[in-house]
Amino acid sequence: MPQAEIRPDRVPRHVAVIMDGNGRWAQARGLERNAGHRAGLESVREVVRAAHDLGVAYLTLYAFSLENWNRPKEEVSELMRLLEHYLEEELAEAMENGVRVRSIGRLDRLPPSTRRAVQKAIERTRRNENMELLFALSYGGRSEIVDAARRLIREAELGVVDPDRLDEKTFAAYLYEPDVPDPDLLIRTGNEYRVSNFLLWQIAYAEIYTTAVMWPDFRREHLEAAIVDYQARERRFGQTSEQVTGAGAVGDDSSVGGEGEAVGR
């Protein structure tokens, strides 16, 4: 792996990660799938530290999808146990590094002990300001949009929202954590090229980076390689290359229209 040369002024503000490949990593070693999840926890630790060190402001990790509830009971229990363990173990380090923990998803479906661990981490770290670490838990992108629509319809019925004046900005305010900016970089490990119902609304203009590295093998240098690759991209937000080079490329989204539809692909 060549030494990454990251431009500190162009570090993506928000990096979102689909951590894939734990099961295949384990199977390739003749281990049970849960061994892959346990190994994946070490990658979570390292990537959180690395993102913090690199100056990433928001890191969102897809830890458990709504669809993951359909996995075998033992696997779901192990994932919940690992999450609780991680949150308890890493709380001190989060406080030391100023990392604020947050969560998106249907948390009401989590077992009570997991929910308590998540809520405790959120509560304890809520004043931390160096990096925001979001766990997508019991999360589905379509469900997030449905949940937003449900709340919006209720407010429209109460007369708080006028359907004729509804625009993208107003709608987005009903999503789970609306103050979090959209991801700039979406990383998927494990040699797959799917979005898997992750942050469907928010990734409209994210740069996508995929790698064959299985999540348990993903280390600091892999995150750095993804950021170097991102920094070589030209983010056009639907405009022409000439237009954006005049305005600045990666990280400069000042030219994006408020409503989005106007700027195209």
Q: For binding to ligand FPP (CB under 6 A), which residues are involved?
A: 19-24, 37, 40-41, 44, 61, 63, 68, 79, 82-83, 86, 135, 190, 215
Q: Which of 22, 68, 167, 253 is catalytic?
A: 68
Instruction: Choose between 110 and 244: whose C-beta lies nearer to ligand FPP.
Output: 110
Instruction: Choose between 40 and 141: whose C-beta lies nearer to ligand FPP.
Output: 40
Q: Contact at 8 Å (CB) between 21 and 214?
A: yes
Determine if residue 217 is left, alpha or beta; phi over 0 gives left, psi from -120 to 50 gives alpha, anything else beta: alpha
Helix (H, G, I), strand (E, B) or coil at 33: helix
State the minimum distance, in angstroms, from the CB of residue 92 to ligand FPP.
Answer: 16
State the minimum distance, in angstroms, from the CB of residue 43 to ligand FPP.
Answer: 7
Instruction: Choose between 154 and 194: whose C-beta lies nearer to ligand FPP.
Output: 194
State the minimum distance, in angstroms, from the CB of residue 34 to ligand FPP.
Answer: 9
Q: Which residue is nearest to ligand FPP (CB)?
A: 23
C-alpha span between 134 and 147 (Å, rounded):
18
Instruction: Choose between 25 and 174: whose C-beta lies nearer to ligand FPP.
Output: 25
Which residues does 261 contact at the CB level (< 8 Å), separation at least 6? 168
State the minimum distance, in angstroms, from the CB of residue 241 to ligand FPP.
Answer: 36
Determine if residue 159 is left, alpha or beta; phi over 0 gives left, psi from -120 to 50 gives alpha, anything else beta: left
Q: Contact at 8 Å (CB) between 53 and 4?
A: no
Q: Contact at 8 Å (CB) between 185 and 15?
A: yes
Which residues does 226 contact at the CB level (< 8 Å), separation at least 6? 15, 185, 187, 209, 211
197 is catalytic: no
184 is catalytic: no
Question: Which residue from 12, 5, 8 is spatially nearest to 230, judged by alpha carbons?
Answer: 12
Q: What is the dihedral of CA 20, 23, 27, 33, to 10 degrees?
A: 160
Q: Which of 9, 20, 130, 191 is catalytic?
A: 20
To 5 degrees, how large is the angle CA 251–CA 213–CA 85? Answer: 90
State the minimum distance, in angstroms, from the CB of residue 84 to ligand FPP.
Answer: 9
Instruction: Choose between 142 and 150: whose C-beta lies nearer to ligand FPP.
Output: 142
State the minimum distance, in angstroms, from the CB of residue 162 to ligand FPP.
Answer: 40
Instruction: Choose between 79 and 161: whose C-beta lies nearer to ligand FPP.
Output: 79
**Residues carrying an active site annotation:** 20, 68
